[in-house]
Amino acid sequence: MTVGAPERARARSTPDLNTSYLADWVTTRAALARVPGVQYAVLVGDEVVLDGAWGVTDLTSGTPLRPDHLFRVASHSKTFTATAVARLVERGQMRLDDRLGTFVPEIGRAPVGEVTVREALGHTGGVRRDGRDADFWQLGAPFPDRARLLDEVLSGGDVLGRGEAFKYSNLAYGLLGLAIEAVTGVSYAEHVSTDLLEPLGLADTYPELDEGLERRAVVGHSAPTLAEPGLPVRFADGRLPVAAVTTGALAAATGFCSTARDLVRWAAAHGEGSDLLEPQTRRLLQRAESVVDRPGAPRREYGLGFEVREIGGRRVVGHSGGFPGQITRTWCDPARRVAVAVLTNAVDGPADQIASGLFSLVSRSLPDDGGTAAGAGGTVTQGSLSGDTHPLDRWTGRFANLWGMVDVVRLGGRLWSIDPRQADPFVGAEELTVDGAALRPEVHDGFGPVGEPIEVLRDAADEPVAVVVGGMTSWRAADYERERRAQAGQLSR
């Protein structure tokens, strides 16, 4: 796969966040996954401290991806719909225990009409997920319009009893969009634009992708194609483009398009101290209404329009988005107002894994109390350093040998060894302390060179050029790659 040069990430210098490494880790993970492109952003407090992109918008054109290109963020739309409903509830225009049939007369007293607003928001109304024919998700038909949506929910749309189980439903969110229109007297798109997007200054977020926005939108891509029949089974680089489509009456469930930068700002608007919602309303949306704990699958929790998870010991809320050819994810720690967003333009894009890993890296970089970050060789007070410079940076770099790679990286005021091939950056990671001219890992049980000092070899400019771990040398990754390619060229002759 050929991709364009990476877009230089825009980052604000901070003493705690090693933003250059965060950008490098994200793009490394994207390159290893062989996705066409990835867009990413990090927000801390009220400021976007990292905003970048890597790869291309479209493998056919090879157009370099920029931080202002638009992605279909799909089910992130549910966070906008839930917030719009919550604000109407605060104003007394709706109630959470109102029946959907109150606002959508066509479903009246039908079983789906008895589902409450709260049950629809939390996916506990038992409503069918996408319909009896959901091939619109693979572009086999247009997304449902209002008439088709109503037909789907009236003809066997009640699959389970109300409150029987957590049952994710795009159809239920489509009905919530119709309810918002009935209450406000304007279209769903107009209401969320004037009530949410414009006041928050989310100028790169739209309830639907229209023709005027397509020139700024990335192209979705399929998964890599399999080898031709009869040949050894392997994955090739052949990804197919996915056409842009609109979402009809399901816009409230999946229609939004946005950028990573806007999504972290949207997420922060749901953090503590924000006045977008009353504190009690915000807590209600973010409280786990349902727990999905199935054998062989990770535990998941869902509130009202927001997913809930624990990452690195922190409680985070957010949402994922899956659209034909695009996968996206946002996570936010509402207590610390820390948010990350990762958007990919491939149906197999590892947005969730990258966003979770990125959040872990950011979280480990920030002091829990917002005041100090303790590190090897002493304590560093936040704001006491100039830009990204730090005395521990003289030990850092990416090193490689025949067996793989290791990053020696500063996170906040601490040094770590991290394997960038791991989706979770802290799987196998070790905290390091400076011990004279060497680095010493923590002592623990393990099969590797536990507790053995890491020798750091330097050049005449005092830059680290290699590390020796357990007696095995790893060189600067770029140097090692050049040497290996030269050796390969000699062997092929």
- Six-digit token string for 79: 């966070």
The structural domain count of the chain equals 1
Q: Is 412 left (phi over 0), alpha (psi -120 to 50) or beta?
A: left
Domain annotation covers residue 240: no
Mean per-residue pLDDT, 25-39: 96
Q: What is the pLDDT of residue 65?
A: 97
pLDDT at residue 387, rounded to an integer: 43
Read off the CATH number of the domain in which 485 is found: 2.40.128
Task: Tell me, yes or no, whether 60 lies in a domain.
Answer: no
Q: pLDDT tens for residues 190-229?
A: 999 999 999 999 999 999 998 889 999 999 999 987 655 5
In-domain check, residue 316: no
- Give residue-wise pLDDT tens across range 442-458: 999 989 898 899 999 99
Does some domain include residue 464? yes
pLDDT (tens digit per residue) in 158-177 = 999 999 999 999 999 999 99
Q: In the block, which residue shows the tokens 């919602």?
A: 277
Which of the pair, 389 or 63, is modelled with greater confidence?
63
Q: Does residue 435 belong to any structural domain of this protein? A: yes
The pTM (predicted TM-score) of the whole model is 0.91
Residue identified by tokens 């926005």 is 213
Show the tokens assigned to 343.
């958007």
Task: Find the radius of gyration of the CA atoms of the chain.
Answer: 25
Structure tokens at 347: 């149906």
Over residues 301-318, the pLDDT tens digits come to 999 999 999 998 999 999
Which residues form the domain of 439? 374-383+390-492
Residue 474 lies in a domain: yes
Tell how far CA 30 is from the center of its chain. 12
Q: What percent of the chain has pLDDT over 70?
A: 89
| Contact residues for 3 (Cβ-Cβ < 8 A; gap 6+) | 31, 36, 37, 54, 55, 56, 62
pLDDT recorded at residue 10: 75
Is residue 448 assigned to a domain? yes
pLDDT of 372 > 50? The answer is no
- 472 belongs to a structural domain: yes
Q: 93-138 pLDDT, tens per residue?
A: 999 999 999 999 999 989 999 999 999 999 999 999 999 999 999 9
Mean of the per-residue pLDDT values of the chain: 90
